[in-house]
Each structure stands twice: as structure tokens, then as C-alpha cells.
Amino acid sequence: MLTGNASGMEGRFCECGCLLDPASGVCPGCGEASRRERRTSARMAAPRTDASDRRKEVERPPLFPYHPRPSQIEIVNAVQSAMDLGKHLIMESGTGTGKTVCSLVGALQHAKANKKKVLYLTRTISQSDQVMKELRSVSRRQRVTGLAMQGRRRSCLLLRTLEELEDIPPHALSKICEERKARTVARQHGGCPHYADLLAIGEMGFLKYCADELPTAAEFDRFCEKQGACPYEARKAIVPLVDVVAVPYVQVLSKEIRSQLFDRLQLTMDDVIIIVDEAHNLIDAARDQESFDITMHDIQAAEDETRELGNPRLATGVDHGLLCSTLRRIIDDAVREQVPRGSYEARLGRRFLEGKLRTELKLDEEELRSMCANMVNAGQKQVEMRLEQGKEPTSATLRLGSLLEIWFRAEDARFVKMVSSDDLGSLKACCLDPQETTSFLREVKGVVHMSGTMQPLRQYADILDLPENRELRIFPSPFPPENRLVLYAEDVSAGQREMRDDPSMKGRIEDHIINICQATDRNTMVFFRSYEMLRTMRPRIEECVDRQLYWEESGASRRLASSIQAFKRGRGGVFFTVMGGKVAEGLDFPGQELDIAIVVGLPYPPPSLLLDELKQRYDRKYGPGKGWEYASAVPAVRKVQQAIGRLIRTETDRGIAIVLDNRMSRYREHVGAIPTKDPVAEVTRFFGWSKRF
């Protein structure tokens, strides 16, 4: 549990994330004794053994590819036991526990015995690469097969040769693909040559390559490209035949794509077990999957098609052009009349859009819904006509009609609906409750939800409404605790209000950054709470820090990759980035690639109507105070932990983190931080000297 004041709470958190009863040491959430008491009991009961004796006692699981640490055996057994019992295991697995290989081994031991398939859900491609690399190691013990899935847009060879297809939406690409495949099968002109090569080669060659090499997604694409075959269709052909499928979140959160995937796998929910990696991202990903906008661009694009469609009648007295112009006027009026000065959004009343359309177009409820259905039908006919004419099978009318239907179905209980002045005006439906998107998880008998930063575990389980027999576990890092030191500066606060009230605060924070960087030549990374803070502090830091400096800039992904590689290869550099970004969550910096992490501020979510609605919802559902904790405090502290987690990636790494924000005192137990009045002295003391040269 995270609260606004943590004084007096040292050592009082259960592994499930709840605050312990100080008198009994028992958790009110799960009923377990505190970690301190369990450790004390274990020390009293266990005979003393030296390290070599403990290593001898570790029994290696049948599929485990390495000499295991005791904590890894515990994780493997926990995963397999939960899968055997058909439970959801929600676990935080610290750096060094090897959560990828441990979860794979535990899941595979259950899956092979029960003829099931493992779906390993990843947020990024680099995570799926790690899955395939671990499967190679497992396969040396016992043969296993796996495949890293990618979407059509990433792996379709035809898209790389036809520039006109770059901006076409997924559903239109699917239609183009199906039409070209049909031409290929019928041996007609205009088919897909890469699909033809796939059919000529046959699926077994690709399956053998997967079984022998267990390739990453990029390696599989390159293999197919050398054969001239379509990687996307090759994956579809062999995916039912492998043991483990690494799948991006989006392919299972989308009901349509998930249905297609399970059709290809020829399986039901009873035939799979699921591993959710970096699970702390799943809730936001599910909300994003359900949230949507109706923009002025959508309306204008549909209106531009009016003449091509013949301005069809959609309802009594309402044609295509009239509906588009009415929608534009409704949004314009709402922006002007409802969005307060100094803001960019306003909450809409219940059934705002439905009421406005019915009044202005003089329709009843049934006619309104019929009008949207007719718009969708007109768009579908347009797509079919364009396909027959050899044109791009797209329709802005189909998109707008579909968005209106979804808007009318979006329940007030699960969505907050707003008007925004962004992008010339838009209507936004933001999902508050993602349980409809994630409900399929509750149907699966055996799911592992894991991350290095999951606490409080109960929050995650509550929001996803996971079954009551769920199991909450924390597996701490096995690395020597003395190798990592986390500090927070007592004399500064990087909060927006604090910096506004004290004009000297910005300069004092900059002083800390400059002094730490100048005191050492070890690779250092500075994580800001926002790009705006990074931008405003950059000029003085560049002027005063005499080291090689690297800066992440929003949207410059290609330049970012080269900067990261230069930073990792060199020594003595300082990399400036933001919490919650690619660097803070997705990359490893082992050894001396990173020795010092400076965290500037706590990255609380910025104020918004959506955040206010989430807080109110959590307060009502889980109790007073839970809104702030679940919606603001937990995400902020997780981002801090992710940034600090870049420091220690192997058992020999040593690193120090300094949080330049005294508000960290509220969460110091959670992060393992201690206060400091002199960060520079602590840094030099930790490493033993100020400069290595």
C-alpha cells in the first residue's frame, strides 16, 4: 500500500502490498505473517549451512537450462503449482531472479504434461527476443519450439515495395492481402509473389528452421526474406505447431485479433496458459485499447467522400453530407461553450451527442441507430467498390459510422466522455474500467502476471478483477543488497507546486545534478519526470558539466538508438532521459555501462479529467484514499523503481541512485531509500573515490 505519509511504517508491508497490523504482524489482506517474522522463524528452524552446501542442495528442474539459484527453483515451482491448480499467479520478481526463464520453465513443465500451449505476452519486441533466447537454452535440455509473432505491417514484404500502402489502416490491408492471396491461388495477374513462394516452399521448411534455431522476430523475417516468402503468412502457417508463442499485447487485447489468433492456433482458452510480462503495463494498455476519439479530421475525411458515395440518404430527412456538417457544428459549439478558459477539455453530460443529434436531425432513438448502421453499410459498399476498381480499399465513411456506433454503445459506467479543443476539436471516450478487454484472462485456467515492479500486488488484481483464488507472491533480487544504494535528497522537491512557490528550487536541483556529475567520471543517467523539465534544465547543465552528454528528445527514436549505443560503449558519459520512456523501462545497462542514476522528481500523472474520474471511481470501489494511491502514487513510484532498476543487472554490478525529491520519504520503505544531506559525499564514499583517473 502506498499512502501520503509513510512515517512509522518501516518494515510494515506484506508481500501482497498491504499494511501490516503493527500489533500482530499479520496482514489484513492475505492473512500471512510479516516477511520479518517469517524470516526470523526460518532462521530459527533452519540448520546452518555454508554456500557450497546450499548449492549442492539445489535440485535442478528438468527443463531448467542453467545452474539454478535457490530463489529460481522457488519461482519455477510457484509457477508450475499455480498452473497445475488453474490459478492466477501475480508476482513481483526482482532483478536477477531470471523471471523470463523461470516462468517459461514452470509453464512448459505444466503445458507439456497437459498438452497445452504457452502464450507469452510482451509489450516490446526486445522482450520477445529475450523469450526466444531463453527457449534456445531450454531446448538444449529438452527440445521445445517457439515463435515470435509480429503484425502484418511490420513483417509484410509487399508493404516494403509498395509505398502507396504505407498509410492504409489494418482492416484495409487485410482486404488487400486476402484479395492478392486469392489471385495467387487462382494464378491470376496481380497476386502476391511472396505468398506464391511460400506455397511453393511449403510450411515444413519454416517449421524446421524455427525448431532448430528458435529465431527472434527479426531473424525469422530475414530467413523468410531470403526465401522470397512472406514472413506474416509463414507465421500463420506454423504457429499451431509450436510450444510457445510470444505475442504482443495488442494481438490479445483486441477481441478481433485475438479471435483470429485462436482460430489459427486451433485452440480454445482451455488449451492455453498465459504469461504476461511487464504486467504493470497491461492495465494502461487495455484502457488505451478501448479508448477512442472522433476528430474533426475523421468528419472532414468522411465529408470529402460525399460526392463519391452519391450523398446517400441515411435516415428520413438526413443525407450523408448533412450528418457530417451537423457533427462538425456540434463539436465546434461544445468546444466554444463548454471548455473553460485555460483548459483544453470538458466532461460531457450523459448521452450528450445522442441528444444533440436527435434534436438537430429530428430523429427518435431507433432512427438514430439506424442512421449509423446505414452509414456503416455505405462505407462497406465503398470499400468493396474500390477493391474491384483496384483502388485502396479504404473508407472514411465506414470509419466514422463505426466510431459513432461504438460511442453510442460506450457505457457511462465504464467511460468518461469529453470534448477537447485539441486537433481543431474532438470527442473523446476514455476507458475507466478495462475489464471488458481483459475479461478473457479470467477464462484461462492458469495465468502468470509478472513484473519487476508490481507492488502493491492487490491493486493490480483488484483493477483486473482477477479470480479470488489468485496467488500474490514477491521474489526479491538475489543480488547482494550492499551492491545497491538508494538515496533521496532532503533539501529539494521537484513537485510543480513546490517549484512554483520557491523560485530558487530549480537552481538548487540543477546544482545537485551538476555537482554529482562533476564529482565522478562513471557512466551516469539522469531521469527527469517530464520532457518539459529536461528541456528547461538543459541549458545550465550543458554549460556546467564537463563530460560527454547525451540527450533524449521526444519523438527522435532513430537518434536515440545511436546515442544509447555510444553511451553504453563509452565511459564517463551522462545520459539525460525521462521516466516511463524506452530507456527507463526497456533497456539493460550491465557492468560499468551504468553506475549512477539520478532521478529528478516523482512522475505523478499530470492533472486531467480522466485522472479525476479514475480517483473518484477507485475511492468508491475500494475505499477512501485508494483513488490517489491507485491512480497517482502507484504509477509514479513504479516509474521511479523502473529507472533505478537500470542500475543492477548482474550479481557483480554496483550502483547508486539519488532521488532529487524529498517527497520520496513517503515511499522510502517501498523503494528502499534513505535520506541524505550531501549526495556528492555519498557517491564518492560508495565508490571509494571521486574520479577513477
- Residue 216 domain-assigned? no
Query: Among 11-25, 586-600, 628-642, which stretch is predicted with the lowest mean pLDDT?
Result: 11-25
- Residue 156 has what pLDDT? 83
Closest Cα partner for 669 from 90, 42, 35? 35
Given a cut of 70, is residue 166 above it in pLDDT? no
Chain CA centroid to CA 319, Å: 42
Q: What is the torsion angle, in degrees rounded to the nearest 10, for the CA atoms of residue 333, residue 338, residue 340 and residue 345?
A: -90
Q: Are 488 and 675 in contact (CB under 8 A)?
A: yes
Domain count, the chain: 3
What SS3 string covers 182-244? HHHHCCCCCCCHHHHHHHHHCHHHHHHHHHHHCCCHHHHHHHHHHHCCCHHHHHHHHHHHCCE
Packing angle of the helix pair 505-519, 679-687 (nearest 10 deg):
20
What SS3 class is residue 451? strand
Give the whole-angstrom CA distance, residue 131 versus residue 454. 20
Do 424 and 497 lie in one domain? The reply is: no
- Residue 156 domain-assigned? no
Given a cut of 90, is residue 661 above it in pLDDT? yes
- Residue 318 has what pLDDT? 95
Q: Are 489 and 637 in contact (CB under 8 A)?
A: no
Find the distance separating the first CA and the last CA of the chain, reported in whole Å: 45
What SS3 class is residue 369? helix
Give the whole-angstrom CA distance, residue 655 versus residue 118. 36
- Residue 134 domain-assigned? no
Q: pLDDT, tens digit, for every residue of 449-501?
A: 999 989 889 999 989 999 998 999 999 888 888 999 999 999 999 999 999 99
Do 587 and 651 lie in one domain? The reply is: yes
Given a cut of 50, is residue 6 above it in pLDDT? no
Closest Cα partner for 488 from 334, 335, 644? 644
Domain extent for 503? 481-687
List residues bridging with 118 in a β-sheet: 244, 273
- Residue 31 has what pLDDT? 43
- Residue 587 domain-assigned? yes
Residue reference for cell 532513430: 558
Cell (9 digits) for 12: 510494515
- Residue 140 domain-assigned? no
Domain boundary pick from 57, 73, 88: 57
Do 387 and 507 lie in one domain? The reply is: no
- Between the alpha carbon of residue 433 and those of residues 17, 252, 458, the distances in Å are 22, 17, 16
Q: Region 348-361: what's the mean pLDDT?
A: 94
CATH number of domain containing 656:
3.40.50.300
- Residue 691 has what pLDDT? 54
Do 498 and 562 lie in one domain? The reply is: yes
Cell (9 digits) for 237: 502457417
- Residue 237 domain-assigned? no
- Residue 34 has what pLDDT? 42
Packing angle of the helix pair 296-303, 396-409 (nearest 10 deg):
130
- Residue 301 has what pLDDT? 94
Give the whole-angstrom CA distance, residue 111 versus residue 578. 40
Do 496 and 395 lie in one domain? The reply is: no
Q: pLDDT, tens digit, for every residue of 389-403?
A: 877 788 999 999 999
**Which pTM was predicted?**
0.84
* DSSP conformation letters of 115-134: T-EEEEEESSHHHHHHHHHH
Domain boundary pick from 431, 447, 466: 431
Q: Are 589 and 651 in contact (CB under 8 A)?
A: no
- Between the alpha carbon of residue 577 and those of residues 326, 533, 581, the distances in Å are 45, 10, 8
Given a cut of 70, is residue 58 above it in pLDDT? no
Do 500 and 353 lie in one domain? The reply is: no
Cis ω for the linkage preceding 312 (within 30 of 0): no
What SS3 class is residue 10? coil
Closest Cα partner for 506 from 529, 488, 523? 529
Q: pLDDT band at residue 123, thresholds of 50, 70 and 90?
A: confident
- Residue 207 domain-assigned? no
Q: pLDDT band at residue 689, thresholds of 50, 70 and 90?
A: low
Do 419 and 312 lie in one domain? The reply is: yes
Task: Kindly give the pairing relationship between strand 313-315 and strand 318-319.
Answer: antiparallel
Containing H/E element for 92? strand 88-93
CA atoms lying within 13 Å on the CB side of residue 326: 17
Give the whole-angstrom CA distance, residue 29 versus residue 21. 10
Buried b (16+ CB within 10 A) or exposed e, 523-551: bbbbbbbbeebbeebeeebeeebeeebbb
- Residue 117 domain-assigned? no
Give the whole-angstrom CA distance, residue 88 versus residue 91. 10
What SS3 class is residue 330? helix
Buried b (16+ CB within 10 A) or exposed e, 17-34: bbbbeeeebebebeebbb
Given a cut of 90, is residue 692 above it in pLDDT? no
Domain boundary pick from 416, 431, 446: 431
CATH number of domain containing 301:
1.10.275.40
What SS3 string covers 502-521? CCCHHHHHHHHHHHHHHHCC
Give the whole-angstrom CA distance, residue 228 versus residue 215. 18
Q: Are 360 and 367 in contact (CB under 8 A)?
A: no
- Residue 650 has what pLDDT? 81
Do 496 and 412 lie in one domain? The reply is: no
Q: pLDDT band at residue 412, thresholds of 50, 70 and 90?
A: confident
Give the whole-angstrom CA distance, residue 237 versus residue 559. 36
- Residue 165 has what pLDDT? 54
Q: pLDDT band at residue 558, thresholds of 50, 70 and 90?
A: low
Given a cut of 60, is residue 615 above it in pLDDT? yes
Give the whole-angstrom CA distance, residue 359 versus residue 65. 68
Do 511 and 611 lie in one domain? The reply is: yes
Do 490 and 401 lie in one domain? The reply is: no
Give the whole-angstrom CA distance, residue 661 versus residue 506. 12
Do 407 and 499 lie in one domain? The reply is: no
Do 642 and 501 lie in one domain? The reply is: yes
Q: Are 525 and 583 in contact (CB under 8 A)?
A: yes
